[in-house]
Amino acid sequence: AQTVTQSQPEMSVQEAETVTLSCTYDTSESDYYLFWYKQPPSRQMILVIRQEAYKQQNATENRFSVNFQKAAKSFSLKISDSQLGDAAMYFCAYRSGSQGGSEKLVFGKGTKLTVNP
């Protein structure tokens, strides 16, 4: 079974600074997807960024980028120029790439990010 581990229960960053959230995962599959989701206090989960395992290039979405190390099974999220609105729980998630079966997301326990003004 696949597992996702987020070793940082809480992180804090000063506004306009950069912060990196860590995630490691365990799988025997070669085809899969990795995601970072943001969950603000209102609870609605929002997709931040996704990475296909077959792509070597790290995904980037505006101020958000990932460092995907497939051999090390590591998938960290970097937030640049942090804003007050970035404060939320961040979840790392894994999904199998095999089609025809379960498309469930396997989540880590989350990292609570605080942004200080």
Query: How far apart are CB 87 and other proteins at their closest, in Å?
Result: 18
Establish if 44 lies at the interface with other proteins (CB under 8 A): yes
Bridge partners, residue 20, by sequence: 78
Query: How far apart are CB 45 and other proteins at their closest, in Å?
Result: 4
CA distance 117 to 108: 28
From the list 71, 77, 79, the residue with the least C-alpha distance to 53 is 71
Stretch in the footprint of other proteins (CB under 8 A) among 14-22, 56-64, 79-87, 97-105: 97-105
CA distance 108 to 5: 5
Size of the site for other proteins (CB under 8 A): 22
Q: Which is nearer to other proteins, 16 or 47 (CB)?
A: 47
Number of H helices and number of E strands within the chain? 0, 12
Establish if 43 lies at the interface with other proteins (CB under 8 A): yes
